[in-house]
Structure 1
Amino acid sequence: MTRHAESDDPFMPSALHDLMFGHIHSAALRAVAVHRIPDHLADGPRTPEELASRTGTDAGALRRVMRLLASRGVFREDDRGAFRLEELGQPLRTGVPGSQHAGVVMITSPMFARSAPRLQDTLETGQPSFDYIYGMPFFEHLLKSPEDRATFDAGMAAFSGAEDELVAQSYAFPPDSRVIDVGGGRGGLLGAVLRGEPSLSGVLFDQSATVAEHVLDRPELAGRWRTEGGDFFTAVPSDGDVYLLKHILHDWDDEDCLRILGSIRRAARTGARLLVVDAVLPGNSAPHPALELDIVMLMALKGRERTAAEFESLLDRAGFRLRRILPTPGLPAIVEAVAV
């Protein structure tokens, strides 16, 4: 069969082809992550038969899934039919620095995978498709499903953990400041900030069950932090010099964001700094790594990724003045504002 130019050949792979089959690639990635296939390739290539024996999977099915992912650069198949883990697939391993295993399992979980096909309904109503599938909002579901909450918490820790040091190193925190991490989870970012400047002290603020699992109990941080449980929609600790909001505002619509920012403004003295750590989208349709995340927000929550102009407007309405936006080596930027 003679090959024709790409525009004339219906069998030629194309960007549209990849978009159409994106959910297949995602399902394949989840399958090898859940069965820890990359962990079994840490010592070198193995055949699907060897991997199947180790993981309790079917060798024939495994070969076909790995073949697809090899075409995307996750694995490479050698002449004897053994697969090795490529650089792209290394973060799929568990227990290694920068592991994204838990993040992949979270994003490809049924929580999001089941919501995606109903995105068409969201286009009609503007409401999260997650609510139709599960019969309740996302965070309410997490409170009632310990398994999904554990998946979510582990996934967020995987994503955030890789960013915390980068964010902490990208901003010069004023010496002797009190840093309040609002919605700070288990304290990964606060810990990185405190390690970077020994004169700082901090408060980790989140729901009581979350801060109870904090990771701040380390010798080098002794005596410089405390935890506090509460609801950031109602009130947050007062008298902070710097308030942190990392990956919080993107979970909520503007009105809920104003409630969170209002709690901070009531607690903060005039002149206190607010650092919003979130992706900042370009003001056009230019490619950006957070555009997919914006659709996750659309179909699962009422949140959104925002542009610089949208952040400025939101902050102004809440009593803060935008000072500057600092890039980091990772996905989020640091949106710096001051209480006025």
Structure 2
Amino acid sequence: MTDTAASAIPPHLHIIQLSLGYLYPAALNAVVELGVADRLERGPRSAASLAEELGVAAQPLYRVLRLLATVSVFSEDESGLFHLTPSADILRANAKGSMRDAVLMLVHETFWAPAGQLSTTIRTGKTPFTEIFGAPFFEFFEKNPEVTGIFHRGMAGFSDTENGPIAASFDFGRFRNIVDVGGGHGGFLVEVLRKNPEARGVLFDAEHVLREARIAAAGLADRCELVSGDFFTSAPGGDCLILKRILHDWTDETSINILRICRGALAEGGRVLIIDAVIPRGNTPHPGKELDVLMMASLPGRERTEEEFRRILAAAGLTLERVVPTPSALSIVEASAAPSR
């Protein structure tokens, strides 16, 4: 909620609305799990009709849809039929730019449960994730492949709408060998290579992640190599190494280690590009501020300001050259190798 919207209602009502805000992601998760939006693709339907097809109770479904309709996710007409809205349409599994997997990731218990114990994080400075799930975030994922799938599909869906605009915001054509470090299924690298036909790419990630890589399906197998490995210990060489939504998962100490490895793999005159939220000054709303608290609750990471990026880059032997804004919530932090001493 913006400052303007908040000031338009009494303070006590503002606080009540914020306190009940968790009901909206709960409702989103429910309708996505049930596939409600998919059933409306052929036209509007009543909650009773949807419930009969889905094998669920009609009244609870109606009440959840009614709540979501207040925030323009679905709409109800005078005859009681529910329609797809633009926001509801992208909850369909087959929709272009579908956010179905992103919703299932963002409201998964691995994020939800630690956020419910945020006061513990504030008291101790540590996430309660290990106490809740028995292992740190990524170690838990390694032990639970079904959760890993939710995370990686969710990240791909989360990123699909931003990849093209980000790739168009920077002159990647100046590079010939582009390495996407921890690049997941390769959605961003696909956009970069499509826009820069002279460039070659390397998609670098864990072997189990690369099994779902999109490179071949995009027709780019002849220009992009899949390399499995661990960015905590090594990175393929190139004149552009990309870290998109990687450093925000980790502490400064770990991030500096990752950056040092990237510096060691960087060709002379090359660039390391960190693609993450850059937190602005002041109280202006920014998606990075929400993600920052999410990172703090479940992971050891954080979103950073420009000055915080400058500090960790310097500690890794890199120099911040500039911050390039994009049409998304992310910016491109461009860094070069600092002169050797």
Structure-1-length-normalised TM-score: 0.93
Aligned partner of 2:86 in structure 1 is 87
Give me the whole-angstrom Cα distance separating, in 2, the residues matched to 1:18 and 1:33.
23
Q: CA deviation at 1:168?
A: 1.2
Shift of 1:114: 1.5
In structure 1, C-alpha distance between the alignment counterparts of 2:174 and 2:20, rounded to whole Å: 51
In structure 1, what residue type is equivalent to 2:270?
A: A
Q: 2:153 aligns to what? A: 154
Distance in 2, Cα, partners of 1:326 & 1:70: 37
Per the alignment, do residues 176 and 20 of structure 1 end up closer, same or farther by CA in structure 2, a change over 3 Å counting? closer
1:210 aligns with 2:184: no
Residue 272 (structure 1) aligns with: 270
Aligned residue in 1 for 2:75? 76
**Bigger mean CA deviation after superposition, 75-84 or 271-280:** 75-84
Deviations for 1:214-236, whole angstroms, at most 9, x for unmatched residues?
Answer: 11114742421111111111111
2-structure distance, mates of 1:164, 1:7 = 40
Q: Is the 8 A contact 1:104 1:155 kept in 2?
A: yes
Is contact 1:130–1:300 with CA below 8 Å preserved after alignment? yes
What does residue 42 of structure 1 align with? 41
Identity of aligned residues (%): 42
C-alpha distance in structure 1 between counterparts of 2:65 and 2:38, whole Å = 14
Q: How far off is 1:18 after superposition?
A: 1.8
Task: In structure 2, list runs of 5 or more residues that go unmatched.
Answer: 1-7
* 1:274-313 matches, cutoff 5 A: 274-313=272-311
Task: After superposing the two structures, state which structure 1 stretch, 162-171 or 273-282, moved more.
Answer: 162-171
Name the count of aligned residue pairs.
Answer: 331
Cα contact 2:286–2:329 (8 A) shared by 1: no
The code of the aligned residue for 1:283 comes to R
- State the SS of the aligned residue for 1:290: helix
- Please report how far the alpha carbon of residue 248 of structure 1 lies from its aligned counterpart in structure 2 after TM superposition: 0.2
Cα deviation for residue 51 of structure 1 reads 0.5
Equivalences for residues 239-250 of structure 1 within 5 A: 240-250=238-248
Q: CA RMSD in A?
A: 1.7
Q: How far apart are residue 283 of structure 1 and its match?
A: 2.4
Instruction: Tell me by how many angstroms 1:271 deviates.
Output: 2.0
Corresponding residue for residue 4 of structure 2: none
The alignment's TM-score, normalised by the length of structure 2, stands at: 0.93
- After superposition, give the CA deviation of every residue in 1:217-273 in whole Å (9 maximum; x if it has no partner): 1474242111111111111112x1111000000000100001100111112134211
Q: 1:20 — aligned with what? A: 19
5+ residue gaps, structure 1: none
Contact 2:175–2:239 under 8 Å retained in 1:
no
- Distance between the aligned counterparts of 1:66 and 1:333, measured in 2? 35
The code of the aligned residue for 1:278 comes to D
Partner of 2:318: 320
C-alpha displacement of 1:81: 1.3
Code of the residue aligned with 2:327 in structure 1: it is P
Alignment match, 2:193:
194
